Amino acid sequence: MKVKVINRSGNPLPQYATEFAAGLDVRANNDEPIVLAPLGRAMVPTGLFLEIPSGYEVQVRPRSGLAAKKGVTVLNAPGTIDADYRGEVCVILVNLSDAEFVVEKGERIAQLVLARHETIEWEETDALAASGRGEGGFGSTGTK
């Protein structure tokens, strides 16, 4: 699937780290280091602008290594970039650790995943079909 991209970052385009990776690593494009205090958050620019095909979205997901090693993750994970958005792709990072984290230019900060989606057409009704679960909510299927 081809996706048009404008790269104003000076960084390489997002890349798959391995042959079977689902997400492309995306890099920070900040002029100055961004210091994330513990529990701090920041919108980190990437310098990328996308033209996503209709019927698709790009999901912005955390990098597992950054989350496990540094406690830094994507705040609204997964973030969604809609097909009609043409602005700069930015990543909302949050530092959940107890130490400062510095985002340097060119650092891999998140993953981008292209995902197909359907458009909902609502069908209003007065009743829903019965199911085995019924109205059971959080924890209703057990905790084991």
Whose CA is closest to 65, among 121, 2, 23? 23
CB 61 within 8 A of CB 77: yes
Question: CA distances (Å), 37 to each of 16, 25, 42, 63, 98, in order?
Answer: 29, 23, 10, 19, 8
What pLDDT shows up at residue 139? 74
Displacement of CA 24 from its chain's centroid (Å) = 11
Q: What is the mean pLDDT of the chain?
A: 95
What pLDDT shows up at residue 35? 98
HSE-up of residue 126 (Cα within 13 Å, Cβ side): 0
**Beta strands at 79-81 and 101-103: parallel, antiparallel or unpaired:** unpaired
What pLDDT shows up at residue 143? 63
What pLDDT shows up at residue 137? 79
DSSP string of 52-109, one letter each residue? PPTTEEEEEE--HHHHHHH-EEETTSSEEE-TT--SEEEEEEEE-SSS-EEE-TT-EE
pLDDT tens by residue, 8-24: 999 999 999 999 999 99
What pLDDT shows up at residue 134? 84
What pLDDT shows up at residue 85? 98
pLDDT tens by residue, 106-119: 999 999 999 999 99
Indicate the CATH number for domain 4-116: 2.70.40.10
CA–CA dist 105, 93 (Å, integer): 14
**Domain locations along the chain:** 4-116
CA–CA dist 100, 96 (Å, integer): 10
